[in-house]
Structure formats: C-alpha cells, structure tokens
Structure 1
Amino acid sequence: MNIKKFIERLEEGCISALLVAMTLLVFVEVVLRFGFGVGVMWIGELTLTVSAWFVLFGMSYGLKIGAHIGVDALVRLLPRTGRRICTAIAVLICLAYCGLIMYGGWVYVGKLHMIGLEMEDLPLPKWSVTSILLVGFGLMALRLLHLLWDVIRGTADGFSHTDEVKESLQLADKENIAPDRPSPKLNAALAEGA
C-alpha cells in the first residue's frame, strides 16, 4: 500500500470513527437528560471537540470527493490551458491560506502547551485537542499539492465538484419534470392545491 492510499484510509477511518463517536455521545446525553433527568457534564465539551475534529478532518476529504461548493461558470468558458492556469492560481491561494492557518495554529498550540491549560470539563491538555488545526490543514495542504501536481502534469484542469445544475436537470428528467412535459405527480399536486 502506498502512502497516498494509507493517508486516504486513515482519513476515512478517522472521519467514520468521529461521526460514530459524535452520534453516540449525543444519543447518550439525550437519553440521560430526557430519560433519567440527569446529564454528564463533560459530554457537551467532548461532543464539541469531536465535531470540530470531524469538520477539520472532513474538509480535505470533501476536496477529494468534490463536495466543496465551487463557482466555476466563468472558468468553464476558458480553454483548457486557461482553466489549468486558473486552477493553479486558486490552489496556490488555498495553499497560502493553509500555510497561514498552520503557522497560526502552531504558535497557538505551542503557547497552550507552554501555559499548560486543560479543557474546562475534561482532564485533557488543551493543546492536544487544538492540534487538529495542524492535522486538518496539513491534510488539506497535501490534497491541494496533489491537485497542483495533477494540474502541472496536465491530468487535471480544475477542482472536481459536483455539478448541481447537471444533477438537477438529470433528476428533473428522471422525474419527467420539464416545462414542455410536466410530470403526473406535479400535475396532481398542482390540481390538489388549486
């Protein structure tokens, strides 16, 4: 297994584990609070921490699967070389942003480590929890570097995102909803409302 596959599997495993943990924590808190009238003080803080880790792990995974929103109507009008140049510029800007956040995160985590603060409700050092800034943005930077390499090699000419317009048209076609041929379901719903 190469390094890329290992990172992808580690990322997917962490995201899955964090989602399960977050769901279980919220479920337990709801059952305890509304079922038994008691709550566990540290569950709220742990849930917030797990959800932050989930989001910061998930942002690079979102880039991998094309789940981030992108407005590329203008870029699509450009020839392939123009799209590649625009993508390279966008990737470099995103890498600069990742670098700034990682630098700030490094300084912040270092100060937290030096001061020795703990979480409010959990006996964990705060620096260990906030270190996800470095991990999450590091993974994002790796993903962006991979995309930049693909753009340089000519195997990619843009970010991959879901094409909402295309998907909507396909769904409308599937449901047979089109201006020139309305679906029976739509006609029935319109007739009911009138």
Structure 2
Amino acid sequence: MRTLAKRILNSAEEGVISLLLVSMTLLVFLEVVLRFGFGTTFIWAQELTLHLSAWFVLFGVSYGLKVGAHIGVDAVVRLLPPLGRRVVSGIAVVLSLIYCGLFIYGSWIYLYKMKRIGIGLEDLPIPTWVAHSILIIGFVLLSLRLLQLLWAIAMGRAEGFQLADEARESMHLAADANRDGGEGRS
C-alpha cells in the first residue's frame, strides 16, 4: 500500500509539473507570436503565466528534493562520520518541517482571508484564494518529502539530503571532454 501511494504521489507530481511546464511554454510562445507578429496580446496571459510559474516552482521544490536536484553547502557535514551526518541531517529535516509548518499555517490564514473577502485575480475570473492555494499544496508536498527523508534517515537508509554535486559533475564533464580529444572546446 505504501509503495502504491508513493507511486501515485510521484506520478501525480511529475504529471502536474510536466503540464505546468508545457502550458507555460505554449502560452509564452503564443504571446510572443501574437505580440510581435500581429501587434496584439491576451490581457490575461501575463497573470496566468505568473501563476503557472509559481505553481511550477512550488511543485518543483518537493520534486527536486525527491530526485536530489537541490544544491547545498555540506562540506562540513561530509567530514562527519555516518552517524554524525544522520544526526545533523535529521536536525536539518526537523527544522525544515517546522519552517514548512509555519508557512502552511500562515498560508492557511492568508487564503482564508482572501476567500472571506472574496478578492479575485485582476485579469482572470479566478478567486485569489484558488490561484494562491499552491502555497499550502506546495508546502504540504514538501513536508511529505521531508517526512519521507526523515524516516529514511531514522531507518538508516539515508545519511541526509541527496544533493546535486555540481563540482563532481563538472569534473566528469571535463574528464569526458579531455578523453574525447578536447572536442567541444571553443
């Protein structure tokens, strides 16, 4: 059951991220063609693009945590023994969960007030609380990913955050370029 729920979450997250990226790209492309090709535009396109990008970013934060796409400063943590890395990472995850909780709480108050007041977006017939609900959705998803990470750390399956190692990746690219005889150099 756990793996089914995890697969559903992963698929839904990836599907929404893909849909948002495609929607933003097509909308911006259409706007450029309309603006520079025909001298016209959709009034609502900029506001929709802004909200799509906000949704994309906040969905992407939790997905980035899942796939290890975030960068981090972990030079000191890497010097620690495995147990030390797990303890420090566990503390970092708990602090991150507290931050998410505060953000979810503040977002709940904000969205409740927007719903109660009845404010809508300027150019789209969408209530503000609906458009900005990604604040709660995004941080709940991030909290779920952090809880998964905390569980993996507690069970000894992870020592900490899976971070992107850009320096290592750059060294591999440089080594590949040197091995290929310097192709790709300008």
Using the size of structure 1 for normalisation, the TM-score is: 0.90
- Could you tell me which residue of structure 2 aligns to residue 192 of structure 1? none
- Could you tell me which residue of structure 2 aligns to residue 76 of structure 1? 78
- Could you tell me which residue of structure 2 aligns to residue 42 of structure 1? 44
1:164 is aligned with what amino acid? E
Question: What count of residue pairs does the alignment treat as equivalent?
Answer: 183
- Could you tell me which residue of structure 2 aligns to residue 96 of structure 1? 98
- Could you tell me which residue of structure 2 aligns to residue 141 of structure 1? 143
Question: Could you tell me how far apart the structure 2 residues matched to 1:21 and 1:175 are?
Answer: 36
Residue 78 of structure 1 aligns to a residue in which SS?
Answer: coil
**Among residues 86, 89, 94, which one is paired with 2:88 in the alignment?**
86
2:120 is aligned with what amino acid? E
Residue 119 of structure 1 aligns to a residue in which SS?
Answer: coil
- Could you tell me which residue of structure 2 aligns to residue 66 of structure 1? 68
Question: Could you tell me how far apart the structure 2 residues matched to 1:13 and 1:57 are?
Answer: 10
Residue 163 of structure 2 aligns to a residue in which SS?
Answer: coil
What's the offset of the Cα at 1:167?
A: 1.3
Over 3 Å off, 4+ runs: 183-186
1:18 is aligned with what amino acid? L
Q: CA RMSD in A?
A: 1.5
What's the offset of the Cα at 1:184?
A: 5.1
- Could you tell me which residue of structure 1 aligns to residue 164 of structure 2? 162
Question: Could you tell me how far apart the structure 2 residues matched to 1:59 and 1:75 are?
Answer: 22
1:32-80: per-residue Cα shift (whole Å, max 9, x none)?
1110001110011001010100001000001111111111111011000
1:116 is aligned with what amino acid? G
Residue 7 (structure 2) pairs with residue 11 (structure 1): no
Question: Could you tell me how far apart the structure 2 residues matched to 1:125 and 1:163 are?
Answer: 41
Contact 2:71 2:165 in 1 (8 A): no
**Among residues 111, 114, 137, which one is paired with 1:112 in the alignment?**
114
Question: Could you tell me how far apart the structure 1 residues matched to 2:157 and 2:183 are?
Answer: 43
Residue 44 of structure 2 aligns to a residue in which SS?
Answer: helix
Q: Identity rate of aligned residues, in percent?
A: 56
| Cα distance change, pair 131–184 in 1 and its aligned pair in 2 (3 A) | closer
Residue 2 of structure 1 aligns to a residue in which SS?
Answer: helix
1:25 is aligned with what amino acid? L
Within 5 A, what are the aligned runs for 1:164-183?
A: 164-176=166-178
Question: Could you tell me how far apart the structure 1 residues matched to 2:108 and 2:150 are?
Answer: 24
What's the offset of the Cα at 1:14?
A: 0.1
Using the size of structure 2 for normalisation, the TM-score is: 0.94
